[in-house]
Amino acid sequence: MKKTKLCPVMLVGTGSDVGKSVIATALCRIFVQDGYHPAPFKAQNMALNSYATPEGLEIGRAQAVQAEAACVPCHTDMNPLLLKPNSEHTTQVVLNGKPIGNRSAYEYFRKEGREELRKEVNAAFDRLASKYNPIVMEGAGSVSEINLRDTDLVNMPMARHADANVILVADIDRGGVFASCYGSIMLQTPEDRKRIKGIIINKFRGDIRLFEDGKKMIEDLCGVPVLGVVPMFKDIVIEEEDSVQLEQKHRAFQEGKVNIAVVLLRHMSNFTDFDVLERDARVNLFYTNNTQDIEKADIIIIPGTKSTLDDLYELRRNGVAQSVIRAHRNGKIVIGICGGFQMMGQTVSDPEGIEGSIPMLPGLGLLDMDTVMTTEKMTNQIEFVFENQMCKGYEIHQGRTTLHSGEDINEVKVVRSDNCIGTYIHGFLDNGAVIDFILKDMANNEDKASTVSIDEFKNKQYDMLADHLRQHIDIEKLYTIMKQKA
């Protein structure tokens, strides 16, 4: 293990979805490969895609992925503040892995109470920095939202607390890369501007040699070196943080494949539950709320949701609920995960108004059970047996489900009845035993997926991502920057 102490590095963006998370993941793996002991950190994350730590607490999925790349257990100190939107106006606030209530955007971003949150995220960073070297930090959204400067917890104020060197990440694919780089730097205070030590141009398409002049122009304009230009990649699979691309994953039905429709919910969470299934050569998986597509599919999956009752109401309003029921009557398999599992029962009720203003709705009636929303949140990593094989996953849910059979859902874990499978377990479909079971009798097993485990697959992807970044980023220049105080 190297003894050299590296200063923290923070990746900030010219905007949202510029690729900060993926580059942070790559750097975590590179530092491990080079003998360091890194850890990721993002003070505040807004995402419905979350994960349960070994201690049974909740963090953003992106930081869990980065921890995997860093070969360390994920911990709430890596993402002390998680915002999980309930609607366009309110969000659940998760602090140090536990929900502390719902807030409107106005309530959350006002100055009152911000310093208490700032103390919490700063303390989390300090604990992490005492154990790991280096800390790979990630900002949020655009670094130049100057209207939020006084209340910002995650970008330059966090960099100042950590005394981090800052690298600006820009997405050239969306256009305007010169203006976005220059504007992002020039809108900083003189103190913060000095912290920005490099620029990474991300998501390049075409021949990079054609951008040599552009690279020089950015350096001249901004007075900051461009550490590299990273091309788009398609052959490396890294879990996505946001669900913005899901609607584009609508493929035509394919003959000879098992066509699987994932119901597209407005408040869908943990969409990474279907990544392994999507990669299976026997499967054609797509996301939809088209009723005809749903009834035509071989298997229908109702995914997790941050707002079970609101999404159930919408499925009844737009006809999807009736299509799922008809498809089941016609012999199709229906699978429910977490909130989707709750919807498959006889009723879902919320007498205390935990999710909102809907007190109760009838479920799809596919499983003999009832669910009542509760304030308590279950967050656990678990192991379970399926088809005599040991499997693993994790739970993140609110609500207590009662099975009419009298069995305890905490003991049963997976409910199976009449072409229906329901469970609270995220990562349920990451297990080979589960996938082989649901595809049996309808798939061409000559196309059966590789027997490589999910952990082996992920580690290969992290190594490929690290190689990709090493090819296109001046890593030695980055090390030089990180060996100097900001």
Give catalytic residues, as residue numbers.
338, 426
Take residue 123 and report the two structure tokens written for it. 């303390």
Phi, psi of 104 (to 5 degrees): -80, 165
Take residue 154 and report the two structure tokens written for it. 């995650």
Take residue 39 and report the two structure tokens written for it. 């850890």
Do 478 and 198 contact (CB within 8 A), yes or no? yes
Close Cβ partners of 206 (under 8 Å, ≥ 6 residues apart) = none
Q: Return the axis-axis angle of helices 308-317 and 320-329, rounded to nearest 10°.
A: 80
Measure the CA–CA gap between 118 and 113, rounded to whole angstroms.
9
Take residue 178 and report the two structure tokens written for it. 């010169």
Close Cβ partners of 167 (under 8 Å, ≥ 6 residues apart) = 9, 10, 11, 12, 196, 197, 198, 199, 200, 227, 478
Phi, psi of 459 (to 5 degrees): -65, -35
Measure the CA–CA gap between 84 and 149, rounded to whole angstroms.
22
Do 310 and 339 contact (CB within 8 A), yes or no? no
Q: What is the edge-to-edge ordering of all strands in the sheet holding 347-349?
A: 360-362, 347-349, 369-386, 389-403, 425-426
Q: In angstroms, what CA-CA distances link 255 with 139, 252, 282, 283, 300?
A: 44, 10, 11, 10, 17
Take residue 380 and report the two structure tokens written for it. 């656990």
SS3 category, 304:
strand
Measure the CA–CA gap between 361 and 310, rounded to whole angstroms.
10
CB atoms within 10 A of CB 143: 28
SS3 category, 5:
coil
